Amino acid sequence: MAGSTFGRAFRITTWGESHGKGIGVVIDGCPAGLPLTEEDIQPYMDRRKPGQSRYATHRQESDSVLIMSGTFEGKTTGTPISLMIINTDQHSADYSALKDVYRPGHGDFTYDQKYGFRDYRGGGRSSGRETVGRVAAGAVACRLLREFGIEVMAWTSAIGPIRARTFDRDEIRKNPLCMPDAQAATRASAYLGRCMSEKNSAGGIIECRATGVMPGLGDPVFDKLDARLAQAIMSIGAVKGVEIGDGFAAAEHTGRDDNDGFTTDENGVIRPTSNHGGGMLAGISDGADIFLRCAVKATPSIAQAQNTVHTDGTPVRIEVRGRHDPVIVPRAVVVVESMTAIVLADALLTGTTARLDTVKRAWNR
């Protein structure tokens, strides 16, 4: 069944396969009057783009975004914003050897089971390339959030066992691993070098923070802010775990240690005194920074021999060739940022109808 649409008021629908004609996204529900040009979106595409370091695939995807509809004279019109990125530099021949084999850790088997056959070129719809549409939509969501003073930023907090121990915001964009700790980035680079020399791959952890979030975002009970974030982040391929605030550590805390109390700041505004909850309580934002973490598994495509089966069930040993990232974490950072922004933009819009007085204000009554 249809599963390529996400969001309720800021609603995105993505399409496209790794080796098809292109990748795209339709954003329906973005308010009219938002300044938006391709220049607002392209920087996000560039951050996701491969070929920027030796830890990313050398495929040369130009990933130029086109706004096909939904803007006029540099502003959104309220109608669907269709964004498209034409695929270039696909080497489909690379993949024909994998046509009849179920690669370990990939969706080959499950797609065949579900759909009866699959587009075996580069993973088709299950490819990481699917996230191009998410990032394009995320750029628009970020543009919208900026109008409300909300900024979203993600980074790599761990590569395999190497964890960032310090947080230098400026460092994030300086090293190719997007880590906020230059020393950790150096050690992670060495670790990745060893993985590559062993024809192996690595995973890692991404963290994301949103600042400037007003209290009141999130809709009980199934569309809680944390629930929607969890769906959004877990839906990114290779993500295996999501934490909000203290996350799994909270399981060991006592109530006294985990409770976020309240105080009144110098402007008379009530604010939480701590942030164990990750910026929300009962699934609704409380004005503290939104904070989440996710675990990304290692790239399943590795060049060392692995045991698996042909589609007919006979055993085979395969070495997955092609151009693959030894770690996808750094490129996934902007994807996590994008999905977080999309959830916040959606909650921002749905939040306008929470109260009779907000509806009246919107309608100038």
- Among positions 130-189, residues that touch its own copies (CB under 8 A) are 130, 144, 147-149, 158, 160-161
- Candidates 54, 58, 165, 355; binder of its own copies (CB under 8 A) is 355
Nearest to 204 by CA among 299, 301, 276: 299
Q: Are 276 and 246 in contact (CB under 8 A)?
A: yes
Residue 308 near its own copies by CB under 8 A: yes
Residue 190 near its own copies by CB under 8 A: no
Instruction: Report CA-CA distances (Å) from 36 to 64, 141, 357.
Output: 15, 11, 30
Residue 357 near its own copies by CB under 8 A: yes
Closest CB to its own copies among 50 and 107?
A: 107
Closest CB to its own copies among 170 and 272?
A: 272
DSSP conformation class of 106: S
Closest CB to its own copies among 116 and 170?
A: 116
> How far apart are the C-alpha atoms of 43 and 337, rounded to whole Å?
13
Residue 344 near its own copies by CB under 8 A: no
CB of 115 to its own copies, least distance (A): 4
Among the residue ranges 48-56, 57-65, 179-187, 266-274, the one whose residues contact its own copies (CB under 8 A): 266-274
**225-234 and 329-350 are packed helices; what angle lies between their axes, rounded to 10 degrees?**
150
Among the residue ranges 40-48, 49-57, 111-119, 171-179, the one whose residues contact its own copies (CB under 8 A): 111-119
CB of 228 to its own copies, least distance (A): 7
Residue 302 near its own copies by CB under 8 A: yes
For its own copies, the binding residues in 61-90 under the rule CB under 8 A are 66-70, 72, 75-82, 84
Site size toward its own copies (CB under 8 A) is 172
- Candidates 65, 185, 244, 332; binder of its own copies (CB under 8 A) is 244
Residue 235 near its own copies by CB under 8 A: yes
- Candidates 41, 56, 185, 195; binder of its own copies (CB under 8 A) is 195
Nearest to 191 by CA among 204, 209, 207, 178: 204
Sign of CA dihedral 211, 215, 219, 225: positive
Q: Are 11 and 27 in contact (CB under 8 A)?
A: yes
Residue 212 near its own copies by CB under 8 A: no
Q: Are 299 and 329 in contact (CB under 8 A)?
A: no
Residue 334: is the preceding peptide bond cis (ω within 30°)? no
Residue 2: phi and psi, rounded to 5, are -50, 125
Place of tokens 């940022």: 337
Residue 50 near its own copies by CB under 8 A: no
- Candidates 64, 97, 105, 186; binder of its own copies (CB under 8 A) is 105
Among the residue ranges 43-51, 55-63, 168-176, 222-230, the one whose residues contact its own copies (CB under 8 A): 222-230
Residue 17 near its own copies by CB under 8 A: yes
> How far apart are the C-alpha atoms of 206 and 337, rounded to whole Å?
10
- Candidates 204, 207, 337, 344; binder of its own copies (CB under 8 A) is 204
Cβ-Cβ contacts under 8 Å for 57 (sequence gap 6 or more): 50, 51, 323, 324, 325
